[in-house]
Structure 1
Amino acid sequence: MSNSTFLILSLGPLALVLTVIAVQRANAVDDAYTGEITDRWVSSSTGTYGTTTRCMIRIRTDEGRELAVAVDSRTYNALGVGDRVLKTPGTRWPVRSQ
């Protein structure tokens, strides 16, 4: 097997995984909804590079969907259960609606 064939076969799966991740993030940024926070929690796991913390909120949208959304710690601390939130296209996380 030539070196170029080996390189293509070994990098192909990595490129596919990176493409899937990029598409998922783009779709999340394009999402738009309004709703109410029904739950929030922090989960952590310890791996090779130390402890990883994920801040999560559960949102019931006005259309009746249930979403579990990973947010940054600043957004997590700014929002509480019962808060009305708004997520507009192009933004990463929801914000408290006025």
Structure 2
Amino acid sequence: MSNTMVLLLSIGPLAMVLAMIAAQRVSEVNDAYTGEVTGRWVSSSTGTYGPTGHCTMRIRTDEGRELTIEVNSRTYQSLAVGDRVVKEWGRRWPERSE
């Protein structure tokens, strides 16, 4: 195999993974909904750099969809079960509804 072919075969899977991550981020930002927090929890895992916490929330939208989303710690601490939330188009995280 030529060096060019080896390079293409090694970079191809990495490019696909990066494209999938970018598509997921775009879909999260482009989503908009209103609803209620029905559950929340923190899970942790230990990796190369030590323990990592993952804050997760379950939201039931007014349209009846059940969403399970990973949020940052600030959003997690600001919302409780039963809170009404609104997620506007272009924003990363839902916020408490006024």
| Shared fold, TM over 0.5 | yes
Q: Distance in 1 between matches of 2:56 and 2:10?
A: 35
The 5-angstrom pairing of residues 24-63 of structure 1 reads: 24-63=24-63
**Counterpart of 1:91 in 2: which secondary structure?**
coil
Give ranges in structure 2 of 5+ residues lacking alignment.
Answer: none
Larger CA deviation: 44-53 vs 32-41 = 44-53
Q: 1:71 and 2:62 equivalent?
A: no
TM (norm. structure 1) is 0.97
**Counterpart of 1:46 in 2: which secondary structure?**
strand
Identity rate, percent: 66
Q: Distance in 2 between matches of 1:52 and 1:29?
A: 24
Q: Offset at 1:62? A: 0.2
**Counterpart of 1:39 in 2: which secondary structure?**
strand
Q: Distance in 2 between matches of 1:2 and 1:69?
A: 44
Q: Residue 9 of structure 1 aligns with which residue?
A: 9
**Counterpart of 2:34 in 1: which secondary structure?**
strand
Give ranges in structure 1 of 5+ residues lacking alignment.
Answer: none
Q: Distance in 1 between matches of 2:57 and 2:5?
A: 45
What CA deviation, in whole Å up to 9, does each residue of 1:51-87 have, x standing for no partner? 1100011100000111011111001000001000000
Q: 1:87 and 2:87 equivalent?
A: yes
**Counterpart of 2:64 in 1: which secondary structure?**
coil
**Runs of 4 or more off by more than 3 Å in structure 1?**
none
Aligned residues: 98
